[in-house]
């Protein structure tokens, strides 16, 4: 426990300094003392879950195309590192590989499902199957859960809660959507995930969630003022691109 914040979550790994969703970013998150790692997951054409944020690969690799139209082998042939650190090529990371890293390092994961409508519930289905395969979907004390699923999609949260009661789920959104509690209640989310920009506008969101028995996960908290805001409000999890800096601000 650091101040009022229970944990620092490395957003896409330590992505301020390292290329997001690469092993260098995830390993740096561990080295910088993050309590947990956030990642986005998408399905490849041949149904593998990979850690990527965008629908297409252009921004973060030397390849082209939509993730959903590429096989894992196609992605493995691309370089996801050099766009951020020239001369440091890095491969795509699968969810299985990230789970192994987190398990070895003793860190929690916050896995965000990014799912084109055309995939229906397939992303959550594959994710829960992976968690079961790794023994991570057993009913657990909420605070001890090794993996939490986060999503802007109420239906995705609902599918996780219905199909894997031992896996906590967080409904992401703006504070104005989450404030009343109805949206989270409807999908049985144990946590809410407002953006820090929206939390600045409605800081009462955190106390209201706590009163309703929910924890708060706030993203993306990269300034000292926002870290102080979250700490003062008692936000349980703060997702940041800069874990080391955040840790020192919380200590200071």
**Residues annotated catalytic, as ranges:** 11, 53
- Helices marked H in the chain: 23-31, 72-76, 95-105, 122-133, 154-163, 175-178, 182-187, 196-201, 204-211, 224-233, 243-251
* Residue among 86 and 172 whose Cβ is closer to Ca ion: 172
In the list Ca ion, ligand G3P, none, the entry touching 20 (Cβ below 5 to 8 angstroms by class) is: none
Smallest distance, Ca ion to C-beta of residue 38, A: 6
Q: Could you say which of ligand G3P, Ca ion, none residue 179 binds, taking C-beta under 5 to 8 angstroms by partner kind?
A: none
CB atoms within 10 A of CB 213: 8
In the window 107-126, what residues touch Ca ion (CB under 5 A)? 112
By CB under 6 A, name the binding residues for ligand G3P.
Answer: 11, 38, 40, 53, 112, 150, 172, 219, 239
227 binds, among ligand G3P, Ca ion, none (CB under 5 to 8 A by kind): none
Considering the complex, state which of residue 89 and residue 119 has its C-beta at the smaller distance from ligand G3P: 119
Burial class (CB in 10 A: 0-12, 13-18, 19+), 169: buried
Interaction mask 18-57, Ca ion, x per CB under 5 A: ----------------------x-----------------
What SS3 class is residue 30? helix
Note the Cα 92 to chain centre separation in Å. Answer: 17
Site for Ca ion in 133-162 (CB under 5 A): none
Checking 136-142 for CB contacts under 8 A at 24+ apart, the result is: 136/99, 136/167, 137/164, 137/166, 137/167, 138/166, 139/165, 139/166, 140/166, 142/168, 142/190, 142/215
Minimum CB distance to ligand G3P, residue 38 (Å): 5
Closer residue to ligand G3P, CB minimum distance, 89 or 116: 116
Q: How far is the CB of 77 from ligand G3P (least distance, A)?
A: 25
User: Minimum distance from CB of 209 to ligand G3P (Å)?
Assistant: 16
Distance CA 245, CA 37 (A): 15
Which chain residues interact with Ca ion by CB under 5 A? 40, 112
């Amino acid at each position: 426990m650091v101040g009022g914040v229970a944990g620092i979550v490395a957003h896409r790994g330590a992505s301020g300094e390292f290329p997001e969703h690469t092993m260098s970013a995830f390993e740096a998150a561990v080295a910088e003392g993050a309590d947990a790692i956030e990642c986005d997951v998408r399905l490849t054409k041949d149904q593998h879950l990979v850690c990527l944020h965008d629908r297409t690969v252009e921004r973060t690799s030397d390849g082209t195309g939509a993730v959903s139209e590429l096989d894992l082998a196609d992605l493995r042939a691309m370089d996801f590192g050099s766009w951020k650190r020239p001369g440091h090529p890095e491969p795509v990371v699968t969810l299985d590989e990230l789970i192994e890293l987190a398990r070895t390092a003793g860190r929690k994961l916050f896995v965000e499902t990014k799912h084109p409508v055309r995939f229906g519930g397939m992303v959550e289905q594959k994710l829960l199957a992976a968690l079961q395969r790794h023994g991570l979907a057993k009913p657990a004390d909420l605070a001890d859960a090794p993996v939490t699923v986060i999503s802007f999609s109420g239906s995705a949260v609902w599918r996780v809660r219905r199909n894997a009661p031992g896996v906590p789920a967080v409904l992401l959104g703006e504070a104005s959507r989450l404030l009343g509690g109805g949206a989270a209640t409807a999908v049985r989310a144990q946590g809410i995930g407002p953006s820090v920009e929206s939390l600045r506008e409605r800081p009462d969101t955190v106390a209201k969630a706590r009163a309703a028995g929910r924890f708060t996960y706030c993203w993306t908290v990269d300034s000292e003022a926002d870290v102080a805001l979250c700490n003062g409000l008692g936000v349980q999890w703060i997702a940041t691109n800069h874990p080391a800096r955040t840790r020192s601000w919380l200590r200071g």
